[in-house]
Copies of this chain bind each other. A is one copy, B any other.
Amino acid sequence: MKVRAAVLEQFDRPLVVQELDLAEPRAGEALVRLVACGVCHTDMYTASGADPSGYAPTVLGHEGAGVVERVGEGVESVSAGDHVVTLFSPQCRKCVHCLDPRTNLCLAIREQQNRGYLPDGTTRLSHEGEPIRHFMGTSTFCEYTVMPEIALAKIDPEAPLDRACLFACGLSTGLGAAMFTAGVTPGSTCAVFGAGMVGLGVVAGCRLRSAERIICVDPSARRLALARGQGATDCWDADGHAVERILEATGGAGADYVFEATGLVSVMAEAVQATRMAWGLCTIIGVAGKGETLEIVPRLLITGRRVCGSSFGGVKGRDQVPELIDLYMRGQLHVDPFISHRMPLHEVNSAFDLMAAQDGIRSVLMYDGV
């Protein structure tokens, strides 16, 4: 079938919206008609060419939500008409990691996905007979996508898809980092560095886990206002004194749970310093630049601070994305404030411009019209 897609033809050039060919789903795959797709930093990062593992041509996009059109042979967990969220982090439910409660890093299709192929090593996308590689196993800057069923989370059909799509990456990453990776405990003091989509999700996750105090640090007053709306109790300008202020506010001890959601290694170092001695946990979520390292004074560890990282919030996608969306459906999560712009597919490059200008939290591409 013919589909319209935003193609990364060359790094550091605008995406080109054009017609591609999309082949039918094969065994274990499903064809999904996408309804909405968030535009995430990872898409822009890859488009820029800065990601050393990036490739082109490819169809970017991974924060998608839509409806299953038809499925390939042997597909049992989704069927035509199901509403789904696309998972760049799949869940095969069979590999050693899927069977372990401690991790969400499914190993099933990792290698092929990283190289831009579906699990059988081929692509469903092509242009004039030339294969076009898939991006993050999702390629959701497109009206339709073919994906493995293990990478589709079946969600409540009542959930509005333009909001559900945020659970495909940024929002689940933040929520999960607080709720699953760190496992924030009731009554604790939390500190969140960064109030973008992920940091705001962390704030909401801390609130859902009944943290007593949630400190959010960001240079933008507008984002801090959004953080307050998500449950932050203290919103502080990132003025370079955040660590001192957090220590001061906690009797010199530091916060029980600290989260870094900026991708800056200098902020990661601050996050470790702001973590409580004796039992504090610092969770690194942001993706650092190539070759950059986080520097930690070992004494901070010896005196009881722990440091970990979180990928997709530790969320086991097929099991837990539906649960997170249910929280939203029950009114426990405010998702609307995250969506700053809605636009059609052919305006995808403006979404990148808005992101570069730090204008708003999320642009959502609407494939059925804005």
* Chain A interfacial positions (CB closer than 8 Å to B): 97, 100, 102-103, 105, 265, 268, 277-279, 284-288, 292-311
Q: Which residue of the partner chain B has the closest CB to A297? A: B293
CB distance from A110 to the nearest CB of B (A): 11
Chain B residue numbers with a CB within 8 Å of A311 are 302-304
Chain B residue numbers with a CB within 8 Å of A306 are 306-308
Is B105 a contact of A277 with CB atoms below 8 Å? Answer: yes
Chain B residue numbers with a CB within 8 Å of A296 are 293-296, 307
Q: Which residue of the partner chain B has the closest CB to A306? A: B308
Q: A301-B307, A307-B308 are in contact. List 20 more A-B contacts (CB 8 A).
A: A102-B304, A103-B278, A103-B304, A105-B278, A105-B304, A265-B298, A286-B298, A287-B298, A288-B297, A293-B298, A294-B296, A294-B298, A294-B301, A295-B295, A295-B296, A300-B309, A304-B309, A304-B311, A306-B308, A307-B307
User: At the interface, is chain A mostly helix, strand, loop or mixed?
Assistant: loop
Is B309 a contact of A302 with CB atoms below 8 Å? Answer: yes
The verdict on A295 contacting B293 (CB below 8 Å), with A100-B278, A103-B304, A279-B102 known, is yes
Chain B residue numbers with a CB within 8 Å of A268 are 298
Is A305 a contact of B309 with CB atoms below 8 Å? Answer: yes
Cα separation A307 to B97 with both chains bound (whole Å): 20
Is B308 a contact of A298 with CB atoms below 8 Å? Answer: no
Cα separation A297 to B307 with both chains bound (whole Å): 12
Chain B residue numbers with a CB within 8 Å of A309 are 298, 300-305
Cα separation A308 to B278 with both chains bound (whole Å): 10
Chain B residue numbers with a CB within 8 Å of A300 are 309
Chain B residue numbers with a CB within 8 Å of A302 are 284-285, 287, 309-311
- Taking a contact as CB atoms closer than 8 A, the residue among B97, B288, B297, B310 that contacts A299 in the complex is B288
The 10 A-B pairs with the shortest beta carbon distances in the complex, nearest first, are A301-B309, A103-B278, A302-B309, A102-B279, A306-B308, A293-B295, A288-B298, A307-B307, A294-B296, A284-B301
CB distance from A272 to the nearest CB of B (A): 10
Cα separation A100 to B97 with both chains bound (whole Å): 31
Cα separation A295 to B293 with both chains bound (whole Å): 6
Cα separation A102 to B276 with both chains bound (whole Å): 12
- Taking a contact as CB atoms closer than 8 A, the residue among B278, B297, B308 that contacts A102 in the complex is B278
Q: Which residue of the partner chain B has the closest CB to A304? A: B103
Cα separation A268 to B268 with both chains bound (whole Å): 18
Cα separation A123 to B301 with both chains bound (whole Å): 31
Residue contacts A-B, CB under 8 angstroms, 22 given: A100-B279, A102-B278, A102-B279, A103-B304, A105-B277, A265-B298, A284-B302, A287-B302, A288-B297, A288-B299, A292-B297, A292-B298, A293-B295, A295-B295, A295-B296, A296-B296, A304-B309, A304-B311, A305-B308, A306-B306, A306-B307, A306-B308
